[in-house]
Amino acid sequence: MDDVSDVGEPYGGGDEAREPGHGPLAGFTVGVTAARRADELGALLQRRGAAVLHAPALRIVPLADDGELLAATKRIVDRAPDVVVATTAIGFRGWVEAADGWGLGDALLDRLRTVELLARGPKVKGAVRAAGLTERWSPASESMAEVLDRLLEQGVAGRRIAVQLHGEPLPGFVEALREGGAEVLGVPVYRWLPPEDLGPVDRLLDAAVSRGVDAVTFTSAPAAVSLLGRAEERGMLPELLAAFGHEVLPACVGPVTAVPLQAHGVATVQPERFRLGPLVQLLCRELPARARALPVAGHRLEIRGHAVLVDGELRAVPPAGMSLLRALARRPGWVV
């Protein structure tokens, strides 16, 4: 997948954002840690005026050549499970494509037609139906917790359940099924690895601890783990956590993604619906609300990350000037 922009370089804060019709995120810089769908998230932020610093904290490694996925696929073909839980559209499509490459595609689809197929959300349903299959059920909440509740209510003792794993933890999901007496077969369609080039991640960390970004977005728990781990390797984890606790807003797409940050005592914000669009809408509300506004000589001055609004008009300010304005805003009326 192509990056949102040149890796590590901000974009989206150009001339369009300084016009009167600027977006709600104009003047703010947002860090994006996503590897998958980074271009979509970056475009959504840019259209609302933000500058984006893209630093993929992970890389996705497809398992088309992975013996673990091949073995799981053969086990399902040889003996159909009672239930298959499909968790992501990209993962389900990747599984079917990998099976095709091994000459097992038709056999896998034939097996999946005989099982109780559960799809976590509408995008997964679309992938399931595109493969010529029909899901038995899908949760209205798009939540794995609701899937788990349904399975446990039905009773899982003695049942064989295949769960499509998708690179990030499913807290308590597999364990609860096994405690209920189920045989659980994991289907690892792709896995996360650290990025080959750590430069963009290091630049994002440097920007975060120096308050050079206003928010950092997380769309997967492994990305959060990776960023925190790299900060620890560099000896700057306390500084990063301090930044997240004050001037840098950590925004997560959902509660599972937030778990690694919350384990370090970081309070995050999350949209009600676990999608990129609602995540961006959340930032459009949160960041302007956090901006400091001051009355100055009969004008309203709003201090944003790398620019100011003067009576609603966006004005670019050099970094040194922004630092001075922030210092003045912290102690109005003082001479700095």
Dist. CA 12–CA 26, nearest whole Å: 9
Asked if residue 101 and residue 209 are part of one domain, the reply reads no
Ranges 122-131, 193-202, 295-304: which has the least confidence? 295-304
Q: Please check the confidence at residue 257 and state whether its pLDDT lies above 50.
A: yes
Domain that holds residue 238: 15-58+195-281
- Does 43 fall in a domain? yes
Mean pLDDT of 212-217: 94
- Does 127 fall in a domain? yes
Mean pLDDT of 133-161: 94
pLDDT digits (tens, 9 = 90+) for 258-287: 989 999 999 999 998 878 999 999 999 999
Asked if residue 24 and residue 145 are part of one domain, the reply reads no
CB contact at 8 A, 132 and 97: no
Asked if residue 79 and residue 174 are part of one domain, the reply reads yes
Tokens of 330: 């912290």
Mean pLDDT of 18-39: 79
Domain boundary pick from 257, 281, 305: 281
The CATH code of the domain that includes 176 is 3.40.50.10090
- Does 45 fall in a domain? yes
Q: Give pTM, 2 decimals.
A: 0.68
Ranges 90-99, 194-203, 266-275, 302-311: which has the least confidence? 302-311
Asked if residue 109 and residue 163 are part of one domain, the reply reads yes
Domain boundary pick from 137, 156, 191: 191
Contacting residues for 82 by C-beta, under 8 A, at least 6 apart: 115, 116, 159, 160, 161
Q: Please check the confidence at residue 125 and state whether its pLDDT lies above 60.
A: yes
Asked if residue 99 and residue 180 are part of one domain, the reply reads yes
Asked if residue 133 and residue 235 are part of one domain, the reply reads no
Contacting residues for 315 by C-beta, under 8 A, at least 6 apart: 18, 307, 308, 309
Domain tally, the chain? 3
- Does 10 fall in a domain? no
Instruction: Give the Cβ contact number of residue 110 at 10 Å.
Output: 11
Asked if residue 147 and residue 94 are part of one domain, the reply reads yes
* Average pLDDT along the chain: 84
- Does 311 fall in a domain? yes
Domain boundary pick from 141, 160, 191: 191
Asked if residue 48 and residue 112 are part of one domain, the reply reads no
Asked if residue 179 and residue 93 are part of one domain, the reply reads yes
Asked if residue 200 and residue 223 are part of one domain, the reply reads yes
Dist. CA 121–CA 135, nearest whole Å: 11
Asked if residue 183 and residue 67 are part of one domain, the reply reads yes
Asked if residue 332 and residue 319 are part of one domain, the reply reads yes
Buried/exposed 289-307: b ≥16 CB within 10 Å, e otherwise = eebeeeeeeeeebbbbbbb
Dist. CA 36–CA 59, nearest whole Å: 8
- Does 2 fall in a domain? no
Q: Please check the confidence at residue 211 and state whether its pLDDT lies above 70.
A: yes
CB contact at 8 A, 308 and 325: yes
pLDDT digits (tens, 9 = 90+) for 152-170: 999 999 999 999 987 555 6
- Does 79 fall in a domain? yes
Whole-number pLDDT of residue 328 = 63
CB contact at 8 A, 63 and 251: no
- Does 4 fall in a domain? no
312 class by beta-carbon count within 10 Å (0-12 exposed, 13-18 middle, 19+ buried): exposed
